[in-house]
């Protein structure tokens, strides 16, 4: 095939593994990951998640900005066929796609009777609002095809999240159940082996207003997960947010990354490698940026409820790779022509806890992280821990802040900490 060799995408290539610790964040932007101790048991198997912006033909210019690839089926169909093969080769359990074009010919390559992806995955897609031609999609491996060493995943519920803004962006949220491998002997597995996955594609920051809009779009994504868990009394359920965040450069300077970090979220890649993913996108301005993320939230404090923290399965990232795996991620590979984004693939270890107390977080002193304290405390309060309205703070809270520092009201929604200085971006 033209472009990158398929074999370079096999998961056997992604062998670099680092166990995250309290000091594993690449900068002060991300929440300090929990320290896992004897209360935690790592169960057999893994959950693999990939995110990939496939570059919809309707948005890919040819010779001029008025000549789009979508008008040249002889060009875009072979390219998307390569994209489909790459996704097949990634062999992930869950795949989050952005710029999923709702043209029938495009969808047939993914969902048609002849598509190998349709045979292997349940595919759920959500179109953008405002008559936009593309959207997002989530692929979930069919449980009946999982071998005895794999976890089996099923879609429990599908929740569309329209942002209702001028960007006409959306998020697609799935509640997914996980059944342990048949070959695994797990004593007393978690009572609720389920989690949430949201996939979104934030607005590209063309103008100053777009930075604020991106932040509001992410707030809507987080809020949808939070309100769903509160409504369904699933307070301790693990959650992921994946997608193309259209970050505007370094993570510590990006207002969306800072928003996530302030609210207990971590970049899986940064947790594993103690650095950003490097270059995952070659923009139309020829900028090389890290914009594609798989983020996870470890709920750290749970309100009193019959559904305690230990009832739920949790996950820890153990490998994270920008694909193709054998090409460094510090620059854009000219040979990669399948999209203007590179896929990101993360493997998570499934965890269960023996105690009613979540894992502690040890904040480690750092000369480059002024927001990190030097004491050992309880973790950052979860978005689910206290019903509250959206909060705005003039300074970023310490990752080791106690729940008492969060403002509360009687509204049935969770507190989202927003740095006021982000608005200056």
Query: Tokens 């969808």 appear where?
Result: 107
Backbone angles phi, psi at 252, to 5 degrees: -70, -15
Strands (E), 259-342: 265-267, 281-282, 288-289, 292-297, 314-322
* Alpha-carbon separation of residue 375 from 22, 225, 395 (angstroms): 12, 31, 19
Q: Does residue 405 sit within a domain?
A: no
Domain containing 350: what range?
17-363
What residues contact residue 307 under an 8 Å CB cut-off, 6+ apart?
Answer: 192, 233, 234, 235, 236
CATH of the domain at 306: 3.60.10.10
Q: Does residue 394 sit within a domain?
A: no
Report the sign of the C-alpha dihedral through residues 218, 221, 224, 226, in that order.
Answer: negative
Angle at 167 between CA 195 and CA 418, to 5 degrees: 60
Beta partners for residue 57, in sequence order: none
Angle at 228 between CA 225 and CA 232, to 5 degrees: 140
Mean pLDDT by 10 residues, the chain (425 residues): 43 36 49 65 93 97 88 97 97 98 98 96 97 97 91 97 94 96 77 93 92 96 95 90 92 92 93 93 92 85 50 92 92 95 97 61 32 30 32 36 32 58 44
Could you tell me the two tokens for 125? 């897609």
pLDDT at 352: 85
**Tally of domains within the chain:** 1
Q: Does residue 327 sit within a domain?
A: yes
pLDDT at 38: 52
Residues in the chain: 425
Q: Does residue 4 sit within a domain?
A: no
pLDDT at 71: 96
- What would you measure as the largest C-alpha separation in the chain, in angstroms? 61
Helices (H) and strands (E) in the chain, counts: 6, 19
Q: Are 265 and 295 in contact (CB under 8 A)?
A: yes
Environment class of 119 (CB within 10 Å of its CB; exposed 0-12, middle 13-18, buried 19+): exposed
pLDDT at 105: 98
Q: Does residue 129 sit within a domain?
A: yes
Q: Does residue 414 sit within a domain?
A: no
Q: Does residue 418 sit within a domain?
A: no
Could you tell me the two tokens for 138? 């989530």
Environment class of 111 (CB within 10 Å of its CB; exposed 0-12, middle 13-18, buried 19+): middle
Q: Does residue 174 sit within a domain?
A: yes
């Amino acid at each position: 095939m033209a472009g990158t060799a398929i074999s370079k995408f096999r998961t056997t290539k992604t062998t670099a593994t680092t166990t995250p610790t309290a000091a594993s964040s690449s900068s002060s932007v991300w929440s300090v990951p929990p320290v896992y101790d004897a209360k935690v048991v790592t169960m057999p198997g893994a959950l693999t998640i990939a995110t990939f912006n496939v570059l919809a033909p309707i948005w890919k210019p040819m010779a001029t900005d008025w000549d789009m690839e979508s008008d040249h089926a002889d060009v875009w169909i072979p390219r998307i066929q390569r994209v489909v093969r790459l996704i097949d080769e990634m062999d992930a359990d869950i795949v989050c796609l952005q710029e999923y074009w709702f043209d029938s010919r495009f969808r047939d390559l993914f969902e048609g009777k002849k598509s190998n992806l349709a045979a292997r995955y349940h595919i759920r897609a959500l179109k953008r609002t405002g008559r936009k031609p593309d959207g997002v999609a989530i692929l979930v491996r069919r449980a009946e095809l999982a071998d005895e060493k794999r976890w089996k995943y099923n879609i429990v519920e599908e929740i569309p999240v329209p942002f209702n803004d001028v960007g006409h962006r959306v998020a697609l949220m799935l509640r997914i159940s996980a059944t342990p491998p048949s070959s695994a002997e797990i004593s007393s597995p978690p009572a609720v082996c389920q989690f949430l996955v949201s996939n979104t594609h934030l607005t590209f920051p063309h103008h100053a207003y777009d930075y604020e809009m991106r932040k509001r779009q992410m707030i809507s994504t987080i809020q949808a997960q939070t309100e769903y868990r509160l409504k369904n009394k699933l307070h301790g359920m693990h959650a992921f947010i994946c997608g193309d965040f259209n970050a505007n450069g370094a993570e510590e300077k990006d207002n969306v990354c800072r928003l996530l970090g302030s609210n207990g979220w971590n970049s899986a890649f940064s947790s594993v490698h103690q650095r950003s993913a490097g270059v995952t996108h070659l923009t139309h301005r020829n900028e090389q940026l890290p914009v594609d993320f798989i983020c996870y939230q470890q709920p750290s404090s749970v309100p009193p409820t019959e559904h305690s923290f230990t009832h739920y399965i949790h996950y820890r990232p153990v490998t994270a790779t920008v694909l193709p795996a054998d090409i460094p991620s510090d620059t854009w590979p000219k040979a990669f022509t399948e999209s203007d984004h590179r896929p990101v693939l993360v493997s998570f270890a499934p965890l269960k806890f023996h105690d009613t107390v979540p894992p502690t977080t040890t904040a480690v002193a750092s000369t480059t992280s002024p927001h990190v304290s030097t004491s050992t405390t309880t973790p950052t309060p979860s978005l689910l821990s206290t019903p509250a309205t959206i909060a705005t703070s003039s300074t970023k809270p310490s990752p080791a802040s106690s729940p008492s520092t969060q403002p509360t009201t009687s509204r049935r929604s969770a507190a989202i900490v927003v740095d006021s200085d982000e608005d200056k971006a």
